[in-house]
Amino acid sequence: MAGQLPHDERSWPERRDRALQNNTLRQTMGFVARRFTLAKREVYRANPDIEASRKTAVGQKRQAIRDLPELLERFRTQAESHGAHTYLATHAQDAVNVALNIAGANQTKLVIKSKSMVTEEIELNQAFERAGIPVRETDLGEYIIQLAHEKPSHILAPAAHKNRHQVDDLFQEDALRQNITPPESDEIEDLTRYARERLRKEFLHADMGITGGNFLVAETGTLVLITNEGNADMVTSLPPVLVSIVGVEKIVRDWAQLTEIIQQPAMSGIGRSLSSYTTMIHAPASNSSAPEGPKEWHIILVDNGRMALRDTEFEDVLSCIRCGACLNACPVFREVGGHAYGSVYSGPIGIVETPLLTDFEILPELPSALCTLCHACQEACPMDIALPAHIVSLRRTVVKRHLNSGTANWTLKTWARFWSTPRGYRRSINLARVIQGVYGKKRHAPGLIPGIFAGWGQTREIPQVAPQTFHEWWKDNGSKLDKK
């Protein structure tokens, strides 16, 4: 069953042009992506043994996805046996409704949240705000984009498209609104100090914490979170009610499997041998010997189109650990950043997941418009997901279902008709010569090329048709050569 994803209503050319005209975005995004990619290379070089572990993790994760219904059931039974409440949300809206009901039942006044892509996917914050319950993001990057009323531009670094001057502007405005002391300067230390002090009050007053989750260990019903800022530890331990919202595909069978895979997100994503914080949640405080912690723990497992990918050629997509390595490696992503994709999920994995999760309901242009098929994502992906092959397959579906624009369909069909026979090919060359004759030998001709190739012609030189093709030359000279 298809899921629902929010999307940007702007057209692809609008999103593309906005991104390409934003020099700050291109500089910061390129810098972050290259830095992560270099760090990844270094950490793999320094840990040669990890390759064997990675391969084991890939095999085990594929098996866990094949066994997903059984493992989910086991996870739920185990988690409930030690006091958690679990829910399976088929659609995005189901997950939102469950979370709102929990908030309502607990008369929640303020929510604090750690970083979670699945809550972006189901637009949880917007639903809570509409219900009059403020939600405060506590991951620094998420906090920045929440102040800017934007969406994440990178899975791991949501505010990677902003530089520190822009962050300072946002914090200065926030301080003015709150009537509190602003950051002393736009130095990183001052900015992080401001965010820390500002968020501390919210941590202490919130009555509900919301997290995502990196892994669900079926064997014991344990949720594993890996973070780099420590904010998730506060979110999971200070408020009396904890809600964890996690995609069903995050399942691993047991602790042995977790051990093989747990280093991969940090190693592949940010080039560190392990994330700074690994938090394992096993039971609410009311059901454990812990003196403090949430009294209630609710786990909402989100399907939203994921289950429908099992037993299809795209099943390996469910092995994604959201490390972001494919984004960092992608030359297109480095130029335009995440917002240009128009989906919560950007980069190569976003190109593949967005149409798959929604059955092409939104953004059908992604596979064709944002990939050069350079295969850099395939090389970068620690989970060996066949991203380029999937992108080609999705392009095929887009054509079959006539999801391209009418002009694009007509142009590509006509082109294919010409170039699928020698006679048609020769005619197209003759036609190109006629057009060249009309326009002269202009090499730079913005506006000269019409239709779907117009953008191509704006920045490139138009190739000149050779005065004589090889076939024509052979026709004239081939017989002479035979005689020699």
Residues found near ligand SF4 in the complex (CB under 6 A): 268, 320-326, 349, 380-383, 385
- Are 241 and 296 in contact, with CB atoms under 8 Å apart? yes
Kindly state the smallest distance separating residue 321's Cβ from ligand SF4, in Å: 5
Pick between residue 242 and residue 326 the one whose CB is nearest to ligand SF4: 326
| Smallest separation, CB 60 to ligand SF4 (Å) | 14
Q: Which of 432, 327, 416 is nearest to 371 (CA)?
A: 327
183 with 193: CB under 8 angstroms? yes
CB of 26 to ligand SF4, least distance (A): 21
Nearer to ligand SF4, 156 or 218 (CB): 156
Nearer to ligand SF4, 326 or 398 (CB): 326
Buried b / exposed e over 188-211, threshold 16 CB at 10 Å, is eebbeebbeebbeebbeebbbbbb
Between 243 and 262, name the residue whose CB sits nearer to ligand SF4: 262
Instruction: Check: CB of residue 329 under 8 Å from CB of residue 145.
Output: no
d(CA 109, CA 133): 6
Closest CA to 341 of 202, 151, 141, 128: 151
Beta carbon of residue 54, minimum distance to ligand SF4 (angstroms, whole number): 11
Q: Map tokens 């012609």 to a residue.
A: 457
**Spatial separation of the C-alpha atoms in residues 281 and 83, rounded to whole Å:** 12
CB of 326 to ligand SF4, least distance (A): 3
> How large is the angle between the packed helices 406-419 and 422-439, nearest 10 degrees?
120
CA–CA–CA angle 40, 113, 19 (5° rounding): 55
CB of 319 to ligand SF4, least distance (A): 7
End-to-end CA distance of the chain: 69
- Taking the least distance from each CB to ligand SF4, the nearer of 224 and 381 is 381
State in angstroms the smallest separation of the CB of 311 from ligand SF4.
Answer: 20
- As measured in angstroms, the least distance from the Cβ of 348 to ligand SF4 is 6
Closest to ligand SF4 by CB, 236 vs 263, is 263
Nearer to ligand SF4, 135 or 326 (CB): 326
> What is the rounded CA–CA span in Å between residue 56 and residue 62?
10
DSSP 154: S
Strand, coil or helix: 276: coil
